[in-house]
Amino acid sequence: MSLQRTDFAVPPRPSRLVPTLWALVAGVIIIVAAAGLPIDWSDLGAVPGQVWHYSVLMFENPNWEKLPRALFEMWRSISMAWVGAIMCVVVSIPLGMLAAHSVGPAWVRLPLRWLFAVIRAVPEVIIALILLTITGLTPFTGALALGIAGIGTQGKWVYETVESVQEGASDAVRAAGGGTAEVTRWALWPAAAPTLMSFALYRFEINIRTSAVLGLVGAGGIGTMLANYTNFREWDTVGMLLIVVIVVTMLMDTISGAIRRRIMNGARMSTKAPAKPKRTRSRDVDRVG
- The per-residue pLDDT for range 92-103, each reduced to its tens digit, is 988 988 888 878
Residue-wise pLDDT tens digits, 81-140: 899 999 999 999 889 888 888 787 889 889 999 999 999 998 888 888 888 888 777 788
Residue 189: inside a domain = yes
97, HSE (Cβ side, Cα atoms, 13 Å): 19
Beta-carbon contacts of 197 under 8 Å, excluding residues fewer than 6 positions away, are 263
Residue 232: inside a domain = yes
pLDDT more than 90, % of the chain? 14
Q: What is the mean pLDDT of residues 158-165?
A: 86
In whole angstroms, how large is the CA radius of gyration of the chain? Answer: 29
* Tally of domains in the chain: 1
Residue 192: inside a domain = yes
Residue 28: inside a domain = no
Q: What is the mean pLDDT of residues 147-173?
A: 83
Residue 50: inside a domain = no
Give the residue ranges of DSSP H helices in the chain. Answer: 17-35, 47-59, 67-98, 106-120, 124-135, 139-163, 167-175, 180-183, 189-214, 222-231, 235-267
Q: Tell me which of 92-96, 171-175, 277-281 is least confident.
A: 277-281
Q: How confident is the model at residue 194 (pLDDT cuts 50, 70, 90)?
A: confident
pLDDT at 262: 84
| pLDDT for 175 beyond 50 | yes
Domain limits for position 140: 84-266
Residue 254: inside a domain = yes
Residue 148: inside a domain = yes
- Tell me the whole-structure pTM to 2 decimals: 0.72
| pLDDT for 270 beyond 60 | no
pLDDT at 289: 44
| pLDDT for 4 beyond 60 | no
| pLDDT for 180 beyond 80 | no
Q: What is the mean pLDDT of residues 142-162?
A: 89
Between 249 and 168, the higher pLDDT residue: 249
Please check whether residue 143 is in contact with residue 80, taking contact to mean a CB–CB distance below 8 angstroms. Answer: yes
CATH number of the domain that residue 244 is part of: 1.10.3720.10
Residue 220 and residue 58: Cα distance in Å, rounded? 22
Residue 120: inside a domain = yes
Residue 270 and residue 157: Cα distance in Å, rounded? 26
Between 287 and 218, the higher pLDDT residue: 218
